[in-house]
Amino acid sequence: MNRRQVLKNLGLGATALVATPTILSLLQSCTNEPEFIPSFLSMEEGHALRRMVDLIIPSDEAIPGAVDVGVHQFIDSYWDQVSTLENQAQTRLGFKGLATQFQTTFNKPLGEGKAEDFDQLLKKYLIVDKAQEKAYDEKLGEFYQAFQKDKSATPDPDIASYSLLQGIRGMTVWGWKSSEEIGENVLAYEPIPGQQVGCLSVSDATGGKVYSL
């Protein structure tokens, strides 16, 4: 595994999700409640998370979005119940940096952020060219080297925002695809695979749908 891939796996708030029974049970227990009361994040951070998750995978008339299947609740619960203490600390650093960057950009706190504000941040940090991605990764690597020597080290708000939002995007996509509603009713669902058939197009096999399992 190369250095850049290692940095992606170490992102603030990011984690390599594996479909274990515990994690799937946690995901299936989540719902889109009228009021999201986070267990790990503050109310302001929870507001930001819900807004961003909704923007990453919005709903339409035919398919539920990430918020509709409770992905924001799942992410918060994962950080609270599954993440290691070090990962929790890094997630908090990520949100601290995001709050600082948000205040600098929009002159208001996270809790007052609107959809268009978070959309602007997502475009800035998720749609980057290779040169900018390399620059971010190098600065992130410098922070982790400092963090390993001094746990009180804090990342630059710009780098923290980039790393956190990259991690949230990955967790949002995984959680949405792995949810019961999407896995069984939107994607191709075959819990007991049949015979292997080679040279068969996705269109012929599943009507163009990706398998959920």
pLDDT of amino acid 190: 52
Residue 148's pLDDT band, with cuts at 50, 70 and 90, is: confident
What average pLDDT does the segment 51-71 reach? 90
- pTM for the model: 0.78
Backbone CA torsion sign across 204, 209, 210, 211: negative
Residue 174 confidence (pLDDT) above 70: yes
pLDDT of amino acid 178: 82
pLDDT of amino acid 165: 95
Q: Supply the DSSP string of the chain, one letter for each residue.
A: --HHHHHHHT-TT-------HHHHHHHHT----SS---SSS-HHHHHHHHHHHHHHS---SSS--TTTTTHHHHHHHHHHHTS-HHHHHHHHHHHHHHHHHHHHHHSS-GGG--HHHHHHHHHHHHS--HHHHHHHHHHHHHHHHHHHH-TT----HHHHHHHHHHHHHHHHHHHHHHSHHHHHHTSB--SS-----SS--HHHHHTTPPB--
Residue type, 178: S
pLDDT of amino acid 41: 97
What average pLDDT does the segment 150-179 reach? 90
pLDDT of amino acid 64: 87
pLDDT of amino acid 59: 87
What average pLDDT does the segment 103-120 reach? 96
Does residue 161 or residue 201 have the better pLDDT? Answer: 161
pLDDT of amino acid 162: 94
Cα gap 106→121, rounded to integer Å: 10
Determine which of 62-66, 126-130, 134-138 has the lowest per-residue pLDDT on average: 62-66
Backbone φ and ψ for 38, nearest 5 degrees, come out as: -65, 155
Residue 55 confidence (pLDDT) above 60: yes
Residue 3 confidence (pLDDT) above 50: no
Per residue in 4-33, pLDDT (tens digit) is: 443 344 455 555 566 666 666 766 776 666
Per residue in 185-201, pLDDT (tens digit) is: 655 445 555 556 555 55
CA-CA-CA-CA torsion for 172, 178, 184, 189, nearest 10 degrees? 120
Neighbours of 90 (CB within 10 A): 24
pLDDT of amino acid 98: 97
pLDDT of amino acid 8: 42
